[in-house]
Amino acid sequence: MRGLGWSLKGLGRHRLRSALSVAGIAISAAMLLDMVMLSGGIEKSFAELLLARGYHIRLTPKGTLPFDTEATLSGAGRLIAAIRRDSSVEAAGAVLGTSLYSRRNDSLVTLFGYGIQPEAQALYTLESGHDLGPADTTGVLLSLPAAHLLGAGLGDSVTFMGRLDPQVVTAAVGRKLVVRGIVRWVYDYRGQPSVGTVLPAMQSLAGQRIGDHVSLLMVKVREDTAAALVAARLRTAFPQLEVNSVADLVRHFKQRLVYFRQLSYILASMSLVVTVLLIGTLLTITVNERLGEIATLRAIGISRATVVREILLEGAVLTLLGSSLGIVLGLLTARYLDSILTSFPGLPAAFSFFVPRGDSLTTAALVLLLTGVLAALYPAWLAARAPIAATLRTEAT
Amino acid sequence: MITRARKLGGLLLLLVTAGARCLWAQVPAIAIERQLARQFDLSVGDTVSLGTQVDSLNLLVIVGAIYEPRPDPAEIAKRERHLRMHLPDLASLLGAADRVDRISIGLRPGISADSAAAILDRGAYGYRAFSSEAIASESSQTFLVVSRFHRAIAVITVVASAVFLLCIMLLKVEERRLDAAVMRFVGVRRRTIFGALLLEASLIAVLGSALGTVLAYLAGAATNAYYRRFFDTILTFSIITPGIVAFGVVLSLVLGALAGAFAAWRLVRTRPLVLWGRG
């Protein structure tokens, strides 16, 4: 009997203990896979979200991140014109975010308003109806939650108000707009009632028209690889602004979610320790039980290297069986854990913490396999140094 | 936005020593949090310029106090730095005279916060009233999610530990095959062997639990020390309560005893010759 067959037979002799070990390794493998997915998934998912519409750079008021504060930039038109003059820039658009109000029956409805430039926007995808034209100051786009909240559909007219004044019990600015389309806002959290108009209309509603204020500018670069260079150029050209490429924003985001990344490293390490202990203990006891058999094999001419290889192979087989089960288990638990974490308030609905990727699966599998083989080193060493004559004599008595 | 006004420090100091008390009194004072003071190397009496834009840092203010911010788990990851100003000074700086983000209301004893909020909401236009309890409930959503995540991870860990424990106990008891065979040969009853093995498994579980408890306290202390330093806060990140210790110990004892009993039961059911390896 050779190689794999010998290993499988060895494991098959003690089915219960082998099954328990495989189960233990499977749970550890599942945990390891989940944590590998968590540690890389946050970064990948956030980068994908930011690049959903192909815009590489965000410009915000100095010291802030997009929509992190209510701070605004002034002179947006002038800034956009200057940015568009850069030959590496394919498109640049401004966005203003603000609170808006509307009424349904007797209730006041609070909404989130986006002022966008339809010719250069990276915030939504159209689901039904028509997009806004650059000069369409009477049209509005609604998210599905906003449409439900307002009870409005395509073609309906809705009055929106900005800057409510409690003292005079009236809105400072009100405007009747026609629903042109239903859109999915890329960065909205689940159920967020958002509406969008062209930038000047939203600036008027928010009282930000004078000074041409916006929340952020978004820039699309012609070549993906040039994004960092263009960001550096913009940083020099506009020192009063915070310029962040997608990579910069991912770095900031990672810093905020550092807890989850560190937790994933700790739990992944613990999973590996459990795997090492399980495989190491099982194989050590198995080797001790089979010392007589090993000594017999050595006595009939089987080399020490072959015995060591067989023990290492047994560790690898155990790990492979556990890992195969663990990958299935890991993908299932990842979905459950992701459903918990994505219920964070204010988190974009399109965001995921656990992203299954080929490279994360491969990394987890390779690390586990290596761990299994390493855990088998000690029992393999025990088997290799077993004294042949003494062991056979002991077995005979 | 805050920057060091290095060049202005000496000039203002000169004015003060010249007795320009009235001018000094017109400079607003601010309170800054300890981390901000350390980040910019500021101390009480320093002058800084503030503005809403980098190119309009026009307001000169004096650091009047440095305070330790109240630990807030919702804020630590953002690493934002805060300062406090008198309301009119901030309103003037923002060009938003007599506008505020929120108004806090203290109620007389016996008045229900929810009823008061409902009454205020009925007459409201442009604001909404919340009781402190409602705000606390809303703002604790993030931590409820984290707590659910921790519970889910804990369940996976408990399952993994249970399997691990069962496996180790099985191996540990099976190591005693020869001992059990000899005992059976010399006439020791199955029940006695079972009891001895169960006792041994329970002792291992007790020792493991004790070691685990010590490890948990050490890991908790290390976690707190690390994250307090990492986030520069006095928040407590890991709390090991007697309830948690009791749960962990009882669970491991029960699992250990069950695993030991199962393994011992398998052993005593096997014929002595088989245990001896000759069956």
Enter the ipTM: 0.76
Q: For residues A99 and A101, what is the distance between their CA atoms, to the nearest angstrom?
A: 7
Q: List chain A residues with pLDDT less than 70.
A: 1-4, 6-7, 10, 164-172, 396-397
Cross-chain residue pair A17–B152, CB shorter than 8 Å: no
Kindly report whether the global pTM for this prediction surpasses the value 0.80: no
**What pLDDT does A390 receive?**
84
Q: Count residue pairs from A and B with Cβ separation < 8 A.
A: 93
**What pLDDT does B12 receive?**
30
**What pLDDT does B124 receive?**
63
Closest chain B C-alpha to A130 CA, distance in angstroms: 32
**What pLDDT does B279 receive?**
60
Integer Rg of chain B from CA:
33
Interface check B124 vs A, CB under 8 A: yes
**What pLDDT does A117 receive?**
94
Measured between beta carbons, the chain A residues lying within 8 angstroms of B122 are none
List the single residue in A170, A240, A258 with the smallest CB-CB distance to B55: A240
Q: Collapse the DSSP code of A270 into the 3-class scheme (helix H, G, I; strand E, B; otherwise coil) and give the result.
A: helix
Strand ranges for A144-277 from DSSP E: 157-165, 170-185, 194-198, 216-221, 241-245
Cross-chain residue pair A255–B54, CB shorter than 8 Å: no
**What pLDDT does B6 receive?**
32
Lowest mean pLDDT among A242-256, B144-158, B265-279: B265-279
β pairing state of A107-116 and A124-129:
unpaired
Closest chain B C-alpha to A337 CA, distance in angstroms: 7
Q: How confident is the model at residue B30 (pLDDT cuts 50, 70, 90)?
A: very high
Hey, what are A258's tokens? Answer: 């550092």
- Tokens 């568009």 label which residue? A84
Interface check B178 vs A, CB under 8 A: no
Interface check B54 vs A, CB under 8 A: yes
Interface test with B, best of A60, A161, A213, A278 (most B CBs within 10 A): A278
Percent of chain B exceeding pLDDT 70 equals: 87
Q: Collapse the DSSP code of A4 into the 3-class scheme (helix H, G, I; strand E, B; otherwise coil) and give the result.
A: helix
Q: For residues A5 and A314, what is the distance between their CA atoms, to the nearest angstrom?
A: 10
Residue B14 predicted with pLDDT over 50: no
List the single residue in B1, B125, B171 with the smallest CB-CB distance to A282: B171
* DSSP code string of chain B: -EEE-HHHHHHHHHHHHTT-HHHHHHS-EEEEEHHHHHHTT--TT-EEEE-SSGGG--EEEEEEEEEPPPP-HHHHTTT---EEE-HHHHHHHHT-TT--S----PPPTT--HHHHHHHHHHT-SS-----HHHHHHHHTHHHHHHHHHHHHHHHHHHHHHHHHHHHHHHHHHHTTHHHHHHHHHTT--HHHHHHHHHHHHHHHHHHHHHHHHHHHHHHHHHHHHHHHHHHT---------HHHHHHHHHHHHHHHHHHHHHHHHHHHHS-HHHHHT--
Average pLDDT of the segment spanning B10-24 = 34
Measured between beta carbons, the chain A residues lying within 8 angstroms of B79 are 255
68-87 of B, contacting A, C-beta below 8 A: 77-79
Interface check B218 vs A, CB under 8 A: no
Average pLDDT of the segment spanning B255-270 = 87
The full set of domain ranges for chain B reads 2-94, 105-139, 143-276
Interface check B100 vs A, CB under 8 A: no
Q: Which residue of B has its CA nearest to A102?
A: B126
Measured between beta carbons, the chain A residues lying within 8 angstroms of B55 are 240
Lowest mean pLDDT among A162-171, B1-10, B177-186: B1-10
Average pLDDT of the segment spanning B186-215 = 90
